[in-house]
Amino acid sequence: MLKKYSIIIFILLITHPHFGQTRKSMGDFTIERTNDNAIEKMPVVQLEYKIESKLGEGAIWNYKTQELYWVDIEGKKLHIYHPETKQNKTFEVPSRIGTVVPAENNSAIIALEDGIYLIDTTDGKIKLLSDIEADKPENRFNDGKCDPNGNLWVGSMPLKQDKPGASLYKIEPSGKTTKMLGKITISNGIVWTRDAKIMYYIDTPTGNIRAFDFDKNTSTISNERVVVKVPTSLGFPDGMTIDEDDMLWVGLWNGNAVARFNPQSGKLISKIEVPAHNITSCAFGGENLDILYITTASVDMTEEEKRKYPLAGSIFKVIPGVKGVKSTFFGEINKQ
């Protein structure tokens, strides 16, 4: 989520370099693929599930059950959506829910305002795993995913979104919690390459996608560097997923689109226009991991934007022509 920023943060953001990307009207919901100056039109985005979520986020595909897990942060709800039946099972939770990752035995790990919990996905009962930041009521947890060793990496953010007073944490299956990064403002997308050697991470107000070397033996990071600078003309980088080619797919808050970036060159490869103003996350799903599911938000919109995007808050899908990879579940080691 990204509210209208203060003047200081705005000045920081507008200093980022712009890419030479031609932008189409928001009424034409096609994929734009950039190849030098050429733009290739791809299949259109489709409405998958109509719902008025406030702040849809945290998309992740459960490849074992063929279901899309996602959350409505401000609605305080965990959703489990089954595309084949079009059924969306909902669990109400006690506070804002930042993210969800499936675990074993009909359970999942979720991040609430006051800590990290395990939730039973049959009856909705929750159990505290880590009370990290329970003493910081000015913060809440936001996005997070599991590393190749099954540890949850999840970050926090100040409710006022006005200062870098948050952190990124690693939560092990035992509940042991370690602070991995500090001075974060809005912790967001996080993914790992297929060979488990690089971790990519977004702190939204910076406009940057950072890379770190990841040591699978110790589940630690080093060698921080910026690999993509997202120009404000595209929007603000939010949730993120990765495809089988290790390219990054990023939801764009205030950007009406999902962008695909090459972290090796830092360049924009393609862009998927979506009929919603705030695009929050995306995840590859389907039996072959060839469908990109996209979450959106209905908050932080002007009256004109609300009229223009009546489906904001819904789930969309597109077949982009590339496949994703299996997400690591909490407590499991990814052997792919």
pLDDT at 42: 57
Token pair, residue 260, equals: 């695909």
Task: Assess contact for 284 and 291: CB atoms under 8 A.
Answer: yes
Residues facing residue 144 across a β-bridge: 154
Q: How far apart are alpha carbons 247 and 259 in whole angstroms?
A: 10
- Contacts of 244 by beta carbon, 8 Å cutoff, 6+ apart: 194, 289, 322, 323, 324, 325
Q: Is the dihedral of CA 323, 148, 266, 157 positive or negative?
A: positive
Other CB atoms within 10 Å distance of the CB of residue 150: 20
Q: What is the pTM of this model?
A: 0.89
Token pair, residue 90, equals: 């909902």
pLDDT tens digit at each of 336 positions of the chain:
555 444 333 334 333 333 333 333 333 344 555 554 443 455 689 999 999 999 999 999 999 999 999 999 999 999 999 999 999 999 999 999 999 999 999 999 999 999 999 999 999 999 999 999 999 999 999 999 999 999 999 999 999 998 999 999 999 999 999 999 999 999 999 999 999 999 999 999 999 999 999 999 999 999 999 999 999 999 999 999 999 999 999 999 999 999 999 999 999 999 999 999 999 999 999 999 999 999 999 999 999 999 999 999 999 999 999 999 999 999 998 876
pLDDT at 317: 98
25-318: CATH topology: Neuraminidase (2.120.10)
pLDDT at 220: 98
Other CB atoms within 10 Å distance of the CB of residue 92: 11
Residues facing residue 118 across a β-bridge: 109, 127
Q: Are strands 56-62 and 46-49 parallel, antiparallel or unpaired?
A: unpaired
pLDDT at 333: 85
Helix (H) or strand (E) holding 81: strand 77-82
Nearest 5°: CA angle at 301, between 297 and 306?
Answer: 90
Number of helices followed by number of strands (H, E) in the chain? 2, 26
pLDDT at 183: 97
CA dihedral (135, 212, 9, 169) in degrees, to 10, reads: -10
Helix (H) or strand (E) holding 305: helix 303-308
Token pair, residue 305, equals: 């934007």
Nearest residue to 110 via CA among 55, 124, 123, 8: 124
Q: How far apart are alpha carbons 130 and 105 in whole angstroms?
A: 20
Nearest residue to 141 via CA among 219, 58, 201, 68: 58
Residues facing residue 317 across a β-bridge: 46, 293
